[in-house]
Structure 1
């Protein structure tokens, strides 16, 4: 079965949040920290988002914050990991972002996780540790296009 990627719509927010709450890594310590309004702001004012669909079921999503040059979210439901959805979301997001003229992006994730390894395999470089103990990763448009 093929995974289809399309631009996120406001009507996708409840399903996006369900995916976010289902993840096993990078779990929110306070689930109330992210609201529906946050998704709406990132999708309509701060950046762009995409969803991964498998037979019309939303199984993952990615959101980039162009104002902060930051990957705000990239999550795949645990029941659908290792099927290529994360890679497709990642590549779609970076292609769009770098086509907008941004020259680099950063993100953070917990160290020693599958997510950290996912980014390393895709040319992201760890550049330090944040006060919350997450690793900061960066990628340039030039490195990604190689």
Structure 2
């Protein structure tokens, strides 16, 4: 997961040490659930849903695999999981004015408040 997270061209971590391997484990084991997309035995994308705050903690795809519908499917798995737990809405945040910002809007998420003019919050109500 870390390899994919560090390979992205947008939403680049200013300090890669901020997201530790233990955090990936915690979100997978106790704080939520995660999914991966594999192609030819290689993980090319992943998503994590956090059940504590009904959020999408992470959604990333290798740059060379973008545009193939991988992110859309991984996002659907994560949101379906949270709605299956009874959540009324799912939330996430991403860097403003990026492909991710436009992607979430195109998937029907409602664009909300901004934080520091760099981060935008989105919500998706239960269908």
TM-score, structure 1 length as denominator? 0.84
Shift of 1:94: 1.2
Q: CA deviation at 1:131?
A: 3.6
Structure 1 unaligned segments of length 5 or more: list them.
Answer: 1-15
1:65 and 1:95 map into 2 onto residues whose CA distance is: 12
Residue 70 of structure 1 pairs with residue 31 of structure 2:
no
1:19-58 aligned at under 5 Å gives the runs 19-58=4-43
| C-alpha spacing 1:137/1:79, structure 2 compared with 1 (3 Å) | same
Residues in 1 aligned to 2:115 and 2:87: alpha-carbon distance in whole angstroms: 23
The question of whether the paired residues in 1 share the 8 Å contact of 2:96 and 2:117 is answered with: no
1:112 aligned counterpart, secondary structure: coil
Tell me, in whole angstroms, the C-alpha distance in 1 between the residues paired with 2:63 and 2:77. Answer: 20
Counterpart-to-counterpart distance in 1, 2:55 and 2:82: 10
Q: Which structure 1 residue ranges, 4+ long, deviate > 4 Å from structure 2? A: none
Q: How many aligned positions are there?
A: 127
| Aligned 1:63-142 pairs, distance under 5 A | 63-131=48-116, 133-142=118-127
Following the alignment from structure 1 to structure 2, what is the Cα–Cα distance between the partners of residues 33 and 57? 25
Q: TM-score, normalised by structure 2?
A: 0.96
More helix by share: 1
- Alpha-carbon distance, 1:132 to partner: 6.7
Q: What is the alpha-carbon root mean square deviation over aligned residues?
A: 1.1
